[in-house]
A = this chain, B = another copy of it.
Amino acid sequence: MDVAAYIQDNKAEFFADLKEWLAIPSISGHPGHTEDVRRSAHWLSEYLRTMGFPTVEVWETRGLPAVFAEWPAADPDAPAVVVYGHHDVQPVEPLDEWETDPFTPVEKGDQLIARGASDDKGQVFFHTLGLRALLAATGATAPPVTIKLLVEGEEESGSVHFAELLREHRDRLACDAVVISDTTMWSADVPSICTGMRGLTEAEVSLYGPDTDLHSGSFGGAVPNPLHALAELLAALHDDDGRVTLPGFYDDVVPITDEERELFARLPFDEDAWLRTAGNSRAAYGEKGYTTLERVWARPTAEVNGMWGGHTGPGGKTIIPREAHAKISFRLVANQEPRKVQEAFRAWVADNTPPGIRAEVKIPGGGVRPCFSPIDSPGVQAARRAMERAFGKPVLFTREGGSGPEADLADILEAPLVFLAVGLDDDRIHAPNEKVEMPLLLKGAEASAYLWEELATALR
Do A286 and B228 touch (CB < 8 A)?
Answer: no
Contacts A296-B222, A307-B310, A329-B318; A216 near B301 (Cβ below 8 A) = yes
Do A231 and B230 touch (CB < 8 A)?
Answer: yes
Residues of chain B within 8 A of A364, CB atoms compared:
315-316
Known pairs A213-B279, A223-B283. 7 more at Cβ < 8 A?
A217-B400, A223-B284, A228-B238, A231-B231, A305-B310, A307-B309, A308-B312
Whether, in the assembled complex, A280 has its beta carbon less than 8 Å from a beta carbon of chain B, the answer is yes
Whether, in the assembled complex, A405 has its beta carbon less than 8 Å from a beta carbon of chain B, the answer is no
In whole Å, how far is A241's beta carbon from the nearest beta carbon of chain B? 13
Residues of chain B within 8 A of A322, CB atoms compared:
279
Whether, in the assembled complex, A220 has its beta carbon less than 8 Å from a beta carbon of chain B, the answer is yes
Whether, in the assembled complex, A227 has its beta carbon less than 8 Å from a beta carbon of chain B, the answer is yes
A17 to B421 alpha-carbon distance, docked (Å): 91
Do A305 and B321 touch (CB < 8 A)?
Answer: yes
Q: Whose C-beta in chain B lies nearest to the C-beta of A313?
A: B306
30 contacts between A and B (CB under 8 A): A200-B318, A214-B281, A218-B296, A218-B400, A218-B402, A220-B296, A220-B301, A220-B329, A221-B295, A221-B301, A221-B303, A221-B331, A222-B292, A222-B295, A223-B281, A223-B283, A223-B285, A223-B286, A224-B281, A227-B307, A228-B237, A231-B234, A279-B322, A285-B354, A305-B318, A305-B319, A305-B321, A307-B308, A312-B325, A316-B327
Whether, in the assembled complex, A358 has its beta carbon less than 8 Å from a beta carbon of chain B, the answer is yes
Residues of chain B within 8 A of A237, CB atoms compared:
228, 231
From A3-11, A140-148, A204-212, the one touching the partner chain is A204-212
Do A281 and B232 touch (CB < 8 A)?
Answer: no
A321 to B279 alpha-carbon distance, docked (Å): 10
Q: Whose C-beta in chain B lies nearest to the C-beta of A310?
A: B306
Whether, in the assembled complex, A311 has its beta carbon less than 8 Å from a beta carbon of chain B, the answer is yes
Contacts A227-B307, A401-B219; A210 near B281 (Cβ below 8 A) = yes
Q: Whose C-beta in chain B lies nearest to the C-beta of A236?
A: B235
Total copies of this chain within the assembly:
2
Do B214 and A279 touch (CB < 8 A)?
Answer: yes
Do A216 and B303 touch (CB < 8 A)?
Answer: yes
Whether, in the assembled complex, A403 has its beta carbon less than 8 Å from a beta carbon of chain B, the answer is yes
Interface residues of A in 266-311 (CB under 8 A from B): 275, 278-287, 292, 295-296, 299-301, 303-311
Whether, in the assembled complex, A195 has its beta carbon less than 8 Å from a beta carbon of chain B, the answer is no
Q: Whose C-beta in chain B lies nearest to the C-beta of A400?
A: B217
Whether, in the assembled complex, A324 has its beta carbon less than 8 Å from a beta carbon of chain B, the answer is yes
Residues of chain B within 8 A of A326, CB atoms compared:
227
Residues of chain B within 8 A of A434, CB atoms compared:
none
Do B285 and A220 touch (CB < 8 A)?
Answer: no
Whether, in the assembled complex, A120 has its beta carbon less than 8 Å from a beta carbon of chain B, the answer is no
Q: Which of B234, B286, B295, B306 contacts A312 (CB 8 A)?
A: B306
Contacts A214-B279, A215-B402; A306 near B317 (Cβ below 8 A) = yes
